[in-house]
Amino acid sequence: MENGLMNTRNLSELPPTILDFNATELVVPPSFIVKALGRAILLDPDTKSILLVHSPTHGGQNTHNRYLPWLATMWSIMEHVREARVLWRNAVAKVKEILANQTTSDAAVDHAKAAIEALDILGWDENVKGFKAGGFVERLALWFTTDWLRSDHEDQMLELLASDLGHGATTGIQTSFFVKSLEQAYSDPDGYRTSHKFAWLRRLGSSLATKERTRVGTIGNKDANHWVALGINTD
């Protein structure tokens, strides 16, 4: 069904008839309907109520059962949390597979149990704290699955590695942006020599040339299908 038709059937310019209801007892529409409704309400100032055509129990095609439009707005806001919840469920399922595997080592079992405890207390709709890479908390769930890792995941690993090596180490760990910066500098040699955006890269090069730093480690993306560890050693 086209989103436009769904919007027409769900929206009404008549005032709501059902004002007293428990929103948690209502059936939430599929994701594509929620998103379409959220956009439609913002674009149509004449909307006074909505019809729950997706739920026969709560009105269905009955145009006399009209609900307050803030219900659709709430669903739109909660959609992000719903998507995060799916990621979380997949992560928990993967960790439980590890626990159920008889060949899993004792150390891996301890880590898996700690992961389950962490997943129980982490919020679904928050920002990651303690990392420069940042990102959304729900993306942490991908660590527990076989899904493709994003740049922020790789940068979090690199930050942890840099922390383990210590600030005084002669090995510098760079984020995944390092390789892209090298590509940009290589394609724009004049800009590399003068542009402020390359100043940090020039300082890093100078530190390697003077032996203040002897090694640089990072990770780069190859052809958008796999990650490759990279190292520079001037010794």
Q: Specify the pairing of strand 215-222 against strand 226-233.
A: antiparallel
Q: pTM of this prediction?
A: 0.60
For 147, residues 6+ apart whose C-beta sits below 8 A from its C-beta are none
End-of-domain residue from the set 99, 128, 144: 144
Separation of alpha carbons 89 and 77, rounded Å: 20
The tokens for 21 are 């209801």
Give the torsion sign (CA, 140, 225, 197, 207): positive
Separation of alpha carbons 54 and 181, rounded Å: 50
40 assigned to some structural domain: yes
Helices (H), the chain: 3-10, 31-43, 70-100, 106-121, 151-165, 177-187, 189-194, 199-209
Separation of alpha carbons 197 and 176, rounded Å: 16
Does an H or E element contain 29, and which?
none
Which amino acid, 193?
R
- Cross-strand bridge partners of residue 232: 216
Closest CA to 55 of 73, 72, 78, 41: 72
186 assigned to some structural domain: yes
Q: Do 140 and 92 lie in a common domain? A: yes
Q: How many other CB atoms sit within 10 Å of the CB of residue 153? A: 19
3-class secondary structure, 124: coil
- Tens place of pLDDT for every residue, the chain, 235 residues? 334 434 567 888 889 888 888 888 888 888 888 888 888 888 888 888 888 877 766 655 667 888 888 888 888 888 877 778 888 888 888 888 888 888 889 888 898 888 888 777 777 667 777 887 777 777 888 887 777 788 888 888 888 888 888 755 556 889 888 988 999 999 999 999 999 999 999 999 998 899 888 888 999 887 777 888 888 888 8
Residue 119: what pLDDT? 74
Give the torsion sign (CA, 175, 179, 184, 185): positive
Residue 87: what pLDDT? 81
Residue 60: what pLDDT? 56
Closest CA to 128 of 109, 141, 115: 141
Count of domains in the chain?
3
The tokens for 156 are 């979090």
Q: Do 185 and 140 lie in a common domain? A: no
Domain range spanning residue 168? 151-233
Contact 215, 233 (CB under 8 A): yes
Q: Do 184 and 155 lie in a common domain? A: yes
Looking up residue 222, the CATH number of its domain turns out to be: 3.30.310
Residue 32: what pLDDT? 83
pLDDT tens readout for residues 191-222:
999 999 999 999 999 988 998 888 889 998 87
End-of-domain residue from the set 104, 122, 144: 144
Q: Do 159 and 122 lie in a common domain? A: no
CA distances from 153 to 2, 32, 128, 135 (A): 36, 28, 11, 8
pLDDT tens readout for residues 105-138:
988 889 888 888 877 777 766 777 788 777 777 7
3-class secondary structure, 163: helix
